[in-house]
Amino acid sequence: MPKKNRKKQLKHFRRRTAAAYLFTLPSFIGFMVFVLIPVVWVFVISFQKYNVFSQSSVFVGLENYKNVLTDARSLEALKNTLWYTVFCALGNTALGLLLAVLVNDILPRKLSIFFRSAYFFPSLIGLTFVAIIWKAFFQTDAGVINYYLSQIGIAKIGWLSSKSISKISVLILDVWKNAGMSMLLILAGLQNVPSELMEVASIDGAGPMTKFWKITIPLASPQIFFVLIMNLTGALRIYESILVLTNGGPGDSSRSLVMLIAEKGFKSFNYGEASAISMLLFLMIAVITAVQFLGSKKWVFYE
């Protein structure tokens, strides 16, 4: 290749590389300012006794972590968060998969389009507005749910006032709100399943359940895995629905770690312990995500 052409190509390559960096620069600056720097700052504060009013801080080592891990309220919030993580994530993913199969294979096309829109519509509404409406539904004496339950002879349930039921109320709201998004994402994977493959399986005598477990699930497993990760991390960060429905009560029976972080940071101004809880939550998300990725090698199949 002539030296002149080589220089011209090199110059063109450098221009394209510079343009690529310029296009990604705003996102990189946003990540640095709003994600990386705050995370580093929270990590540093978690080892200090920080006074927000005097802007003074004293290094206390692991004292904040010790206080958090021995505090009954923190342990209760941790237990509740893990409960939400398991049931909200599995509920959203399982119901999303069921709805995706329903609108993709079972319903006629026109009905499928209607129900697809109906199931997805709750995902478009702000969570705070949805929670306010569901709070009215869950009222013990004047709520719609208890009214219809009483019509079939079931006694009134304290959806928001019972310690054993309050988390279930949050679960119902979360699944109703987010299952539609899970359905839409999984549906994208189901629509990539070749119809010819299903026809061949039917000719070979495979029943609906066999085709579902042996063909549909493996081929749609990348989308299911993505939805599961999304729902797991979302459940670990659950906040608004609890705040509006129960405000963490009764007592601390429905309080999550994110609610406790907000309370310690913005009400008690205990930035040290709030930062320690934040770092523990960050570690939980990282560990659970890593376990999911390692486990996915056994059941997620990429073409």
According to the model, what pLDDT value does residue 303 have?
64
pLDDT at 95: 92
Q: Say how far apart CA 75 and CA 153 lie, in whole Å.
A: 38
Position 110 scores a pLDDT of 72
Weakly modelled stretches of the chain, pLDDT under 70: 1-5, 107, 303
Tokens 């968060």 locate to 81
Sequence-separated (6 or more) residues with CB below 8 Å from residue 239: 256, 258, 259, 262
Query: Distance between CA 170 and CA 134 in Å, rounded?
Result: 10
- Residue 54 corresponds to which tokens in the numbers above? 């005097």
The confidence score (pLDDT) of residue 176 equals: 92
Give residues with Cβ within 8 angstroms of 89, minimum separation 6: 228, 231, 232, 234, 235
Q: Between the CA of residue 210 and those of 102, 197, 201, what are the distances in Å?
A: 16, 13, 9
Contact, 228 vs 89, CB < 8 A?
yes
Distance from C-alpha of 47 to C-alpha of 106, rounded to nearest angstrom: 56
Tell me the CATH number for domain 71-296. Answer: 1.10.3720.10
The model's pLDDT over 98-107, given as tens digits with 9 standing for 90+, comes to 888 888 877 6
Return d(Cα 78, Cα 236) in angstroms, integer.
10
The pLDDT value recorded for residue 168 is: 92
Per-residue pLDDT tens over the stretch 65-95: 999 999 999 999 999 999 999 999 999 999 9
Query: Which residues, other chains included, contact 174 with Cβ-Cβ below 8 Å and sequence gap of 6+?
Result: 84, 88, 91, 92, 235, 238, 241
Beta bridge partners of 48: 59
Digit-coded pLDDT (tens) for 95-134: 999 888 888 877 677 777 787 888 888 888 888 888 999 9
